[in-house]
Amino acid sequence: MTVKAMTSKEVTKKVFNKEELFIFDVRNESDFQDWKIEGENFEYFNIPYFELLDGVEEIIDKIPSDKEVLVVCAKEGSSIMVAEMLSDAGLKVSYLQGGMKAWSEHLEPVKVGELRDGGEMYQFVRVGKGCLSYMVVSNNEAAIIDATRMTDIYLEFADRIGAKITHVFDTHLHADHISGGRTIAEKTGATYWLPPKDATEVTFAYQPLEDGNDVENGHVKINIHALYSPGHTIGSTSFIVDEKFLLSGDILFIDSIGRPDLAGLAQDWVGDLRESLYKRYRELSEDLTVLPAHFMIIDELNEDGSVAEKLGTLFAKNHGLNIEDGNEFRKMVTENLPPQPNAYQEIRETNMGKMNPDLEKQREMEIGPNRCAVR
């Protein structure tokens, strides 16, 4: 019997709308425990598919008949097989089209605000990986910040709204995902900006993004102020857009702060991290809306699926911004680091232009959860 496919976009809608969904994940237990589809009202059941090769009779009573059921695997093949067996047994189920690989790559654009000249700020939520990227649109010109390697969605979105991509930025040299910034710049002729302190080993030309840079986007003056804020990397740079939005990169998240160890220099950089968060950010307006480059947990999503919060609210509620003692801060940061992201050294080298892995290898390098924050 043919079973219905559910797309990553459809699952994302369920995440944003806080709908109920029963997920039957047939990957190995270790893979499931490490990384799964998260939703506030999702339920989970995990049995490796190879335990179901002789049939689903023994687990059929674990699958509800009164709830929407989605079967999930790594690439989709195993989930189709299991979904068909469940369907033959009389249950109504769907499978995740493209599996967790497709889930990792889906980007959902969300409008997060207006700019003063009639321009707009869009956030692209990579809900399966926790990555956030941005498009600033003004007077039919677009600037993109922290693009993922799935570049077509930015190009198609800009084309759909009639905007020409003129600038592409990375807030820092990413270690958890492959940047699409250079590719977009090559395809569009846009200027590609990088913080020079993170770019000492890159093999390609770029425009240095330094403290105090103002970059005009659109005929009406919209300034993207570069604010040097080291800590996650030595070159980490924040942007203040239109005196309204603070794009914090991986320095500050909604519920946590950035980890300073992905170049092996946690002890050296933790002081920079504290300086950026406790001094440089304290000098900014608390009315700025913080737009980070990642989110850690599904609870950080707002009602519309966006990830954003006022800086003043974060100073009040984010534990990482409220540790008065410097030694205690150092201890908290260096002793609460999650495992390193998968293949992070290879990802860094790819983002430097030293490696050029094929698409399948890139997908493999990025598989797994986002681990950019201090726990």
Instruction: Tell me which residues are annotated as active site.
Output: 73
Return the structure tokens found at 244.
């309204």
With beta carbons less than 8 A apart as the criterion, state whether 258 and 232 touch.
yes
Beta strands in the chain (DSSP E): 4-6, 21-25, 42-46, 69-72, 93-96, 108-114, 120-126, 131-138, 141-145, 164-169, 191-194, 207-208, 214-216, 223-228, 237-241, 245-249, 289-292, 309-310
The Cβ-side half-sphere exposure at 206, using a 13 Å CA radius, reads 28
Beta-ladder partners of 168: 144, 192
Distances (CA, A) of 350 to 15, 19, 148, 183, 354: 31, 38, 13, 12, 6
Return the structure tokens found at 113.
């605000």
Return the structure tokens found at 165.
């991509």
For 152, the enclosing helix (H) or strand (E) is helix 152-160
Return the structure tokens found at 162.
């009639």
In whole angstroms, what is the distance from residue 159 CA to residue 165 CA? 9
